[in-house]
Amino acid sequence: MNAIAGSILSMELMSTNPANQYFQIVIVSVGLLTLIATIWWQIDTASEEENSETVTISPFDTIDLSGALHVLVLASNDTTLKLRGSRKALSWLRVRQYGQTLKIGNRFFLKAWGHHKSLFITITTPTLRHLEISGANVVQVNGFTDLASLDMNITGASNVSFEGTVGFLSTEITGASRLTLQGAGQHLNAEITGASSLHALHYAAEIASLELAGACSARVKVSRQLTAELAGASRVQYQGEPMMHVKSAGASSVSRV
């Protein structure tokens, strides 16, 4: 009994030793930090899991995109909006509709930037009249074969492609954006500034009117008439044998390819 009592007394003395107390606190702290890190990892992993959402919207003819988005716009008899991406990326997305205008953008552009590659948006609509695109978006528009007119304003560093047929296509491209056209149309009007570019050698236009300023470029295919005004170090290249009306200043140039 005396030996047992001595052992218990020795353990009690050890537990009250300052060094032992310090190590006990360290062990408990490490355990708590490990537990917190595990819980945080589980939450963060769950937020990165892919989710899909279908948003109810009304018919529209104008799309306004801002931020850093991956968007596919398709011609269809139905009007739909489908979102796919991580839970975190979807939580930073803002969808609004004002009459005929559908607006989609990032709530927090800088935070969403790291997740923009995992966010995909698919829009279907029977018609399209106007596209407003700003930021660093990747947008693809396909399947519109009989549009009377279409306006596209592109700013920032977006990459936009359009495939279809338009009677009168008008576009303004600023910043360091890129627009690629495929299909055909009667009239093509383009105002291009900054370091932006228009790639339309696979878009057969009858009449084209181009205004370029800065270090931008345009490549077009025109059959009847090409009017071009250039300033700065801009460049126009064209295919076809159209009637030419050209005004240029600075180091700009117009050439046939």
Dist. CA 162–CA 190, nearest whole Å = 14
Clarify whether residues 14 and 74 are in a common domain.
no
**What is the H or E stretch that residue 95 is in?**
strand 93-98
- Altogether, the residues listed in the chain come to a count of 257
User: pTM of this prediction?
Assistant: 0.80
In the prediction, which pLDDT does 10 show?
46
Clarify whether residues 69 and 24 are in a common domain.
no
Question: In this prediction, what percent of the chain has a pLDDT beyond 90?
Answer: 70
User: Average pLDDT over the chain, rounded to whole?
Assistant: 86
- pLDDT tens digits, 33-64: 666 555 554 544 444 578 899 999 999 999 99
Dist. CA 233–CA 47, nearest whole Å = 47
Residue keyed to tokens 């948003």: 55
- Per the CB < 8 A criterion, the answer to whether 90 and 112 are in contact is no
Q: Please compute Rg for the chain using Cα positions.
A: 30
Of 46, 61, 78, the domain-final residue: 46
Higher-confidence residue of 49 and 197: namely 197
Clarify whether residues 13 and 101 are in a common domain.
no
- Per the CB < 8 A criterion, the answer to whether 151 and 129 are in contact is yes
Dist. CA 140–CA 12, nearest whole Å = 74
Q: What is the pLDDT confidence band of residue 14, given thresholds at 50, 70 and 90? A: very low
Dist. CA 74–CA 195, nearest whole Å = 28
Query: Which residues fall within 8 angstroms of residue 170, CB to CB, at 6 or more apart?
Result: 149, 150, 151, 152, 189, 190
Identify the three-state secondary structure at position 209: strand
In the prediction, which pLDDT does 16 show?
55
Clarify whether residues 89 and 10 are in a common domain.
no
Identify the three-state secondary structure at position 118: helix
Clarify whether residues 34 and 63 are in a common domain.
no
In the prediction, which pLDDT does 88 show?
82
- Per the CB < 8 A criterion, the answer to whether 136 and 156 are in contact is yes
Question: According to DSSP H, which parts of the chain are helical?
Answer: 2-15, 18-47, 87-91, 109-113
Clarify whether residues 222 and 235 are in a common domain.
yes
Clarify whether residues 84 and 19 are in a common domain.
no
User: What value, to the nearest 5°, has the Cα angle with vertex 201 and ends 175 and 164?
Assistant: 85
In the prediction, which pLDDT does 110 show?
45
Phi/psi of residue 33, nearest 5 degrees: -65, -40
Clarify whether residues 28 and 151 are in a common domain.
no
Clarify whether residues 136 and 33 are in a common domain.
no
**What is the CATH classification number for the domain harbouring 235?**
2.160.20.120
Q: What is the pLDDT confidence band of residue 86, given thresholds at 50, 70 and 90? A: confident
- pLDDT tens digits, 234-249: 999 999 999 999 999 9
Clarify whether residues 42 and 55 are in a common domain.
no
Pairing of strands 80-86, 120-125: antiparallel
Total domain count for the chain? 2
Clarify whether residues 135 and 181 are in a common domain.
yes
Clarify whether residues 32 and 75 are in a common domain.
no
Least Cα distance to 159 among 71, 233, 76 occurs for 71
* Residue 25 belongs to domain spanning: 2-46
